[in-house]
A and B are shown apart, each in its own frame.
Chain A
Amino acid sequence: MGLLTGKRVFSIMALCMMVGLLLLPIVVALPSPAIGEEAPAVGDEAKKDGEKVEKGRDVYYKTEGIVVGAPAPKTTDGPKDYPRYNFESRVLIWFANQQHLYYGSFVLAVPIFCMIIEFMGVVTKDKALAKRYDQLAYDFIKISLTAYSLTAILGGILIFTFLTLYPAFFSYLSGIFRPVMHIYALMFVAESGTLYIYYYGWDKMKEGFLKWIHLSMSVVLNVIGTLLMFLANSWIGFMMSPAGVDEQGRFLGNIWHVIHTALWNPLNLHRILGNMAFGGGVVAAYAAYKFLASKTDEDRAHYDWMGYIAMALGVAFLIPLPFAGYWLMREVYAYRQQMGITLMGGLLAWLFIIQATMIGILFLSTNYYLWQAMGRMRGAEKYQRYIKYLVFLLAAGYIVFITPHTMVMSPAELKAMGGQQHPVLGNYGVMSAKNGGINVIITTTVLSFVWYMRGNKVSTVSWAKFGNIFMGVFFVCAYINIIWLAVYGYYIPANVRVGLSVPQVATTLSCLFFMFALNSVMMRGAKQMGPIEWGKISARSQYALIMLATAFTWMMGLMGYIRSSVRLFWHVNEIMRDNSPWAYTHTVGFAANMISANVLFFWISILFVFWLGSLTAKKVPVESKAGIPGSVPQPAASH
């Protein structure tokens, strides 16, 4: 009893310490508004000394402030500002940045999964199932822990690469962000401390009140991780849409203006969702690999289940991702219309066609996996004959979604076609059609999920027949509404047409929320046609998971490149010019090769991380397996 009380006290102290670590940077930061408050002080002193106080106007907020920073350096191409090896410096910084970002995204996303799964384990009443959830969460964090060290190493490499190859730029950026640089470092310390206590305290805090404390630690861990990411996002936000400085790039004393730029919040949302989808994809690929390498039915069942959970979590964040992307683009256009045009209709537009292709592949892979997964439940055969219609909808939406507006052609081809725009296909290369295409794809994915969730069940509620008919009619009307809005867009002025994307998105989200909710109500107490036979799934489905993860990785690399390239020849947009010999936009082919090389390196290195993790594999407790009836465990009878 005394030992238990001691553990409780110790765990509460540990939790308090973590919260303290979380708050520490804020406490330390209190003097940092000091930078903001220093300004008047500097002004007062200057007045006393009879010196002239120089004021500047914020380039974004348009407020006046006293200049407290140095102007952005005007660099020249030479060893002073751009020291180099006999290699393109931009490629080196690109590689270092991308690898750090991949690992950073992974280690920020996985603890969030862990928190969700651990919570599911705590609240579930089935003890065997709770243990399996707990084991799964532990498996997740174990993978993340090894990757965490690599993230820190890559972060170090990135800083040294900046210092070595872009000293003038890095010096300016770190000067602007000086008040929050140490906060970032302290947050990193807090993250590491919390992660290690969380991981190593797993077995000590596995039951009762202590488990809740442990779960609370995961919340603190994720809050720290998210804040870390927000801070890092403020740097790229500043580079794209600077604020808090005057037109010469001089800091005006308000660090919040520097952080809270026009694109900061859209970037934050987009990155959280992107990281989660990416993390889900990587864990699903890990599970798929383990599934394919499994020798026993039991292992296959475990990794099949793990892959499904990771995929479901990843896709849950993938579905709203395009909408977050729309918001980001909308803010880009609002900030600088020219920047938006460069992205969507100019220099970088072809990269968006590739992006559309990748998004389509993600959704096609997800749907394919779900259809394959229906094979492991008895009763789901009733949906098999309808899958061909879903394939048609997906293929039609996909083809429209990837159709380019104009083609790159030779003069002879141009003459033969009668212009840059194809007389028929060119009509599908516009936003009206593309919005329709992607919304059809997402709605179809929602429908596949609904079918999967009710695959082996028959509703027993008295209004089941009406419920089924209502769901069918609602989906049909949703498709009609999406396609109708896409067609209607061709006949109205451009400014009104842009607004049609909002009801289109609302239609898709209505299907997602209402149909999932209705399905859950209908399936409460439903009759089961048979258990979900985990592990009894085709190998093809596992390759779909690997495809999903690779497509995520490739798309992240692509989008990072697009976002960064839109600054063109600026280090900091319209403030600090890039005068290095590499201040030009690469060809699409070179960029694609570079992205592929980054993806390849990431996957080779993460396989190494997985291998390291397997060396210390913690076996599932025997009792948790033995307690489950059937030839293979059935960990998630309900979804």
Chain B
Amino acid sequence: MSALNNPVIAVIVSLIIAVGYFTLVDHYLMDMQGLDYCTCSVSNHQVM
């Protein structure tokens, strides 16, 4: 636990957890709706 209280290690561990979590949330929730998260099409520029 003392290693985790080192600010550098704490930031790195926190970043890994937070980035991993939000990436998972983004992909999983789009998949759940039957949508592809990685669909990228510049030609379909915002119209809504």
On A, residues with C-beta under 8 Å from B are 427, 430-432, 462-466, 469-470, 472-474, 476-478, 481, 485, 489-500, 502-503, 506-507, 510
Contact = CB atoms under 8 A, between A and B. Distances in A.
B45 A491 contact: yes
A490 B33 contact: no
Nearest to B23: A481
5 contacts: A466-B10, A474-B14, A490-B45, A493-B39, A494-B48
Interface of B: 1, 4-5, 7, 10-11, 13-15, 17-19, 21-22, 25-26, 29-30, 32-33, 35-36, 39-42, 44-48
Contacts of A496: 30, 35-36, 39
A499 B30 contact: yes
A257 to B, nearest CB: 28
Q: Among the interface residues B4, B18, B40, which one has the most CB atoms of the partner chain A within 10 A?
A: B18
A473 B15 contact: yes
Contacts of B5: 462-466
Q: In terms of DSSP, what is the predominant structure of the interface of chain A?
A: helix
B46 A432 contact: yes
A427 to B, nearest CB: 7
Given A485-B26, A493-B41, A430 B48 contact: yes
B41 A465 contact: no
Contact of B29 (A432, A489, A503): A503
Contact of A499 (B19, B25, B33, B48): B33
Contacts of A485: 26
A490 B10 contact: no
B21 A510 contact: yes
Nearest to B8: A469
A492 B18 contact: no
Given A491-B40, A500-B30, A503-B26, A477 B18 contact: yes
Nearest to A344: B48
B15 A477 contact: yes
A491 B41 contact: yes
A137 to B, nearest CB: 38
Nearest to A494: B48
B15 A502 contact: no
Given A432-B46, A493-B39, A499-B33, A462 B14 contact: no
Given A432-B46, A492-B39, A469 B7 contact: yes
B35 A507 contact: no
A328 to B, nearest CB: 18
A478 B23 CA distance: 11
Nearest to B32: A502
Contact of B25 (A489, A490, A495, A510): A510
Nearest to B33: A499
A463 B5 CA distance: 6
Contact of B18 (A463, A473, A491): A473
A265 to B, nearest CB: 19
The 9 closest A-B pairs by CB, nearest first: A473-B14, A477-B18, A469-B10, A466-B4, A499-B35, A465-B5, A470-B14, A481-B22, A493-B44
Contact of A462 (B1, B7, B32): B1
B14 to A, nearest CB: 4
A42 B30 CA distance: 51
Contacts of B36: 496
Contacts of A490: 45-46
B25 A506 contact: yes
B20 to A, nearest CB: 10
Nearest to A488: B40
A492 B35 CA distance: 11
A498 B32 CA distance: 13
A494 B43 CA distance: 11
Contact of A481 (B4, B15, B26, B45): B26
B18 A474 contact: yes
Contacts of B39: 492-493, 496
Nearest to A432: B46
Nearest to B4: A466
A477 B33 CA distance: 23
Contacts of A477: 15, 18-19, 22
Contacts of A474: 14, 17-18
B47 A491 contact: no
Contacts of A463: 1, 4-5
A615 B14 CA distance: 56
